[in-house]
Structure 1
Amino acid sequence: MIKDNQSGLNRLHVVLDALVTVVSYLLAWYIVIGSGWARQLGKKTLEMEFYLGALIVIVPGYLLLYSFFNLYTPKRVLGRRNEFGKILKANTIGLLIFGLVLYFGRKEPHLFNFSQRLVVYFYGINVLMITAERNAIRMVLRSMRTRGYNQKHILLVGYSGAAEGFVDRVRSNPQWGYNIRGILDDNRERGSQYDGVKIIGTIDDLEYILEQNSLDEIAITLSLGEYEKLRRIVALCEKAGVHTKFIPDYGNIIPTIPYMEDLQGLPIIHIRHVPLNSLPNAMVKRAVDIFGSLVGIILFSPIMLVTAIAIKLTSPGPIIFCQERVGLHNRPFKMYKFRSMTVQDPGKEKSRWTTPGDSRVTTVGKIIRRTSIDETPQFFNILMGDMSLVGPRPERPFFVEKFKEEIPRYMIKHQVRPGLTGWAQVNGYRGDTSIIKRIEHDLYYIENWTLGFDFKIMFLTVFKGFINKNAY
C-alpha cells in the first residue's frame, strides 16, 4: 500500500537530499579552496573547520527550502521540468539568503573572509546534483511501478467520459503506478468493462468497500447528470479517511484546460486560461516583439532590398502587397508581404486560396514564397503592434467568417496577437493543410504560452518554418 510506504520514501528523500547537499558543498570547497585556487588568486581563506561548521546551518536550511517548495509531496505525474523549476527556485532563494548573511555580517572577520566564490560554485553544483539525484529516484520508482511494484490502488466512482479519460491516461503511463481496482456505477451492468477496468458494483457498495481499508484513493468520476450524489459520496469518503479527488465530467462542455480562481473563498472555474491576458506576461512579450522586430529588420534588410529590386524588375505592379487580415480581438489590420503574384482584382483575390502550380505566382514569387522571404515585411507589422513574432497566423475576413461557423473554437485564436510564425507552422500545418489541426495547435499555444515556448518556436522556425513544401 502506498500510504504505508510514502512516509519511509519521504524520509529517504530527505536523507539523500542532505547527503547530496553536503557533497555539493564539499566539492565547491575543494574546487575553490582545497585545490589551492583561492591562494593562487591571493585571496585570504578561512580554516576548513569553519567551513565544515557552516554545514550545521546550511543543510537544515536547504531541506526547509525544499519542503517549502513541496519537493517532498508525492507527485507521481510531476514532470521533470516542474521539479527542476522548484529545485532552481529553492536554491536561488538559498543563494540570496547566503548572500544577505555575508553582506550584513561583513563586520565579522570570519564572515568577511568567507569565500563568495565558494557560495556561487555551491549554488551551481547543488542544483545539478540535486536534479540528478531526483531524476535517478524518479527512474527507479517508475521502473518499479512499470513492473507492478509500489502501486497506488484507486477506485473510480461513476462511469463517464471523465472515467474513460482517466483510464486511457493510466493505461498509457504504467510508470505512474496506478492500479484501478474497478468502477462503481448505478447505470452500467455489473461485469461490463472499459479497457479492462470492470464495473464491480453500484455506488451503494462504496461504504462496504471503504470499510475494507484496501484503497489508497477514490476518484469521483460521476457524469454530469449524477452530481446530486456527490455530497453523499464525499461524506462517505471523508468518514473513512481515504484520500479523495474529483475529476469533473465537463469534456463535452468545456473542451479545454480551465483554471481555478479563489474569490475570497469562492472557487471560480475559468473556461479558458490565456496566460497572455496577464499584464506582466503581455508586457514581456511585447518588449520581446519590439526588440525582435528591430533585429529582424536590420538582419534581413539586405535580403529585403534585393527582393524588392527583383520584384520591380520582373513584374509590373507594387513591390509590397497589402492585405486585410483579422487580428487581436477580431480587429482587422493591414498585413504586409512582398508581392509574389501578378496584380489581381481585389474582389476575386480575397476569397481564393493559393493552389499548387497556381498561374498567378510569378517566377520570383515562387522563390520567395518557398523560402518565406515574402513574409519579412511583417517585421514592420510586429513593430507597429498589429502582430507578434509568435502566434496563430492571421486569416482573411472572408475565411474567418467561413471557419467560425464550421470549426468549433476557431475564434479563440483572436484572443492573442497573430504571429509571424507559430506552433502550427513549425509542426508542418501551413498552406493547404488541415485547418482543424492548425486550430488545435493554435489553441495549445494560447493556453500553454510561456516566454520559453516562444523562444522554442522561434528556434524551430529556423529549421522547419522558413522552407516548407506546403508554401506555394
Structure 2
Amino acid sequence: MIRQSSRFLSQIYALVDFIAIQFIFLLAWWLKFKSGFLFFENPLPFSVYFAWSVVYGIIAVVTGFLVDFYLPKRKRRFSYELYKIIQVHVLSFLVLLSLLFFVKQLNLSRQFLGMFLTGNILIITIYRYVLKVMLRRARVKGYNKQFVLILGAGSLGKRFYHNLSKFPELGYEVVGFLDDYAVRLEEQGYPSLLGKVDELSTIIEEELIDEVVVALPLEAHYKYGQIIEICEKSGVKVLIIPDYYDYLPARPYFTNFAGIPLISVRDIPLDELKNRFLKRAFDIGFSLAAIIVTLPLLIMIAIGVKTTSRGSVFFRQERVGHNRRKFHMLKFRTMKIQTELHSDTKWTVENDPRVTRFGTLLRKTSLDELPQFFNVLLGNMSVVGPRPERPYFVDQFKEEIPKYMVKHQIRPGITGWAQSNGFRGDTSIEERIQYDLFYIENWSFLFDVRIICKTIRNGFRNRNAY
C-alpha cells in the first residue's frame, strides 16, 4: 500500500519552507536596515514588511503545491528540484509584486525585495540539497525504505532488479517476484519467488508493497488490465516496463498525438522551449563575456598567425550542425594554405607537415578554438554540446557507428561531455558518441556548468591534438 505518511511529509515540507521564508525575511531585513553594511533609513515599520513576508510565504507554499513541488522526488535528480525552487519563487515574487501594485504599497525597498528573492532561492536550495543528501545516506543505511514487487522473473525483470540494486541511495527494496514459470530464484541470488501473477491480490494483502513493477512479456499483456485494477484498488502504484525495452534508448517518454498516447523513443530535454531559451541565453551571455575577457589574447594570436605564415588569420571549415544543417566553423588558422579537398577529407596526423610551428602551439593549447565563440553568437554552435564533424566524415561514420546521427538533434558545442572526459582529437569515435548520447538525454543547466568547470579544471592542453 502507499504510505499515508507521504501526504503528511508533503505538509511538513511546506511548513518548513514557510518557516525558512520567514527566517530569510529576518536575515534580509537585518542586512538591509540593521547590519551597518547597507544601512538605510526605513520609511515603513517592521510590521509592514513582516506582514508582506507572511503573504509571500503563503503564496510560495500554494504555488509549490500547484506546480507539484511537494510531490515525492525520490527518483528525481537534484537539478529537477532546483528548477522547481526557481520556478516557485520567481512566480511567487511576481504575484507579490502584482499585489503590492494593486494595493498601492510602493514604498517597500527594492533592494530589500531583491535580497529577499535571492535569499529564498539560495538558502532553500542549500537546505533542500543538504536534506536530499541526508535522506540518501539514511536510505543506504536501511531507513525510509519503499518496497517493490516485480511481476515477471524473466530477463527483463532480472535486469530491472540488478539495475535497481546499483542505486541503494534511492531506498527501494525488492520484496520478491511473481512469475508463472520461474523456479528457484533464491539459488540464483535473487529475492524470493512469492507466487504466480494471478496471486497478486493475495500477495498485496500479505506483504507491505508500495510499488508494483510489471516486467512481463508482450504475450502476457492481456493481464495488464487486471493487474492495474488490483493495484489501484489496493492503493499501490504500478509501473510498466515495455517488453521492447531493448529497442528503446535510455529515456523514452510518452507524448500525445491526435488524442492517442505515443511513446517517443528518445527524451531530449532541449526539445522543450524553456530549456532551449535558458541554454541560448546562457550561450550568448557566456560567449560575450569570453570574447571580452580574451580580446587581448585574440589580438595577440591573430598577430602571431599573420606574422608566422602566409594566408588569412581565420580558417573557415564546413561542419554538420543542428538538424544536419551545414555551417562554417571558425578557427585560428594553424596550417599552411591547402586545397579544400585536403582540409575536408584528411585527418591531422602526428608531425603533420601541413601544421605551422605556431599552429602546433595553438592546437596543443586549444587556443585555435577561441573564434568559435563567434559561431555561438551566430547561433551555429553552443558553448557545450557534441563536437561538430566535417560532412565527409559524417557520411562515413553514420554508416559505421550506430546512433551517430543522433548527436545532430542539438547544437554542436565548443566543449562537451566527451571532451571533458578526455575524448578529444585522436580518440575512439564509438566511445565519444556514447558520451554525446548521455549528454543529449540528460541535459540540464547544471550539467552544462559542470562540463564547463571540468573543462577549465582539466586545462586546455590537448594531448591528442596534432
3-state SS, counterpart of residue 154 of structure 1:
strand
Relative to structure 2, which stretch is displaced further, 387-396 or 338-347? 338-347
- Letter of the 2:44 partner, please give it: T
Give 1:59 deviation, angstroms. Answer: 4.2
1:45 alignment partner in structure 2: 44
**Paired residues, number:** 463
**Are the structure 2 counterparts of residues 470 and 36 from structure 1 closer, same or farther at C-alpha, using a change threshold of 3 Å?**
closer
TM-score normalised by the chain length of structure 2:
0.83
Q: For the Cα contact (< 8 Å) 2:32–2:39, is it kept in 1?
A: no
In structure 2, distance between residues paired with 1:467 and 1:98:
50
Find the partner of 1:81 among 79, 82, 93.
79
1:309 alignment partner in structure 2: 306
In structure 2, distance between residues paired with 1:115 and 1:380:
40
Find the partner of 2:255 among 261, 268, 273.
261
**Are the structure 2 counterparts of residues 157 and 54 from structure 1 closer, same or farther at C-alpha, using a change threshold of 3 Å?**
same
Q: For the Cα contact (< 8 Å) 1:98–1:119, is it kept in 2?
A: no
The yes-or-no answer on 1:173 pairing with 2:171 is no
Aligned-pair identity in percent equals 38
Give 1:23 deviation, angstroms. Answer: 2.8
2:422 alignment partner in structure 1: 428
The yes-or-no answer on 1:413 pairing with 2:407 is yes
3-state SS, counterpart of residue 252 of structure 1:
helix
Q: For the Cα contact (< 8 Å) 1:423–1:441, is it kept in 2?
A: yes
3-state SS, counterpart of residue 246 of structure 2:
coil
**Are the structure 2 counterparts of residues 55 and 182 from structure 1 closer, same or farther at C-alpha, using a change threshold of 3 Å?**
same
Q: For the Cα contact (< 8 Å) 1:190–1:200, is it kept in 2?
A: no
Relative to structure 2, which stretch is displaced further, 151-160 or 276-285? 276-285
Q: For the Cα contact (< 8 Å) 2:151–2:216, is it kept in 1?
A: yes
Relative to structure 2, which stretch is displaced further, 316-325 or 212-221? 316-325
Give 1:154 deviation, angstroms. Answer: 0.9
> 1:234-286, CA deviations, whole angstroms, 9 ceiling, x for partnerless residues?
22223333221223344321123223323465322222234445567657766
**Are the structure 2 counterparts of residues 437 and 465 from structure 1 closer, same or farther at C-alpha, using a change threshold of 3 Å?**
farther
**Are the structure 2 counterparts of residues 396 and 465 from structure 1 closer, same or farther at C-alpha, using a change threshold of 3 Å?**
farther
Find the partner of 1:437 among 418, 424, 431.
431
Q: For the Cα contact (< 8 Å) 2:415–2:452, is it kept in 1?
A: yes
**Structure 2, unpaired ranges of 5+:** none
**Structure 1, unpaired ranges of 5+:** none
In structure 2, distance between residues paired with 1:118 and 1:382:
36
Find the partner of 2:70 among 72, 89, 93.
72
Give 1:383 deviation, angstroms. Answer: 5.8
**Are the structure 2 counterparts of residues 187 and 406 from structure 1 closer, same or farther at C-alpha, using a change threshold of 3 Å?**
farther
- Letter of the 1:466 partner, please give it: F
Give 1:435 deviation, angstroms. Answer: 0.8
- Letter of the 2:231 partner, please give it: C
In structure 2, distance between residues paired with 1:212 and 1:145:
24
Structure number, greater radius of gyration: 1
TM-score normalised by the chain length of structure 1:
0.82
**Are the structure 2 counterparts of residues 469 and 260 from structure 1 closer, same or farther at C-alpha, using a change threshold of 3 Å?**
same
1:215 alignment partner in structure 2: 209
Give 1:8 deviation, angstroms. Answer: 3.9
**Are the structure 2 counterparts of residues 278 and 70 from structure 1 closer, same or farther at C-alpha, using a change threshold of 3 Å?**
closer
Give 1:166 deviation, angstroms. Answer: 3.4
Relative to structure 2, which stretch is displaced further, 151-160 or 204-213? 204-213
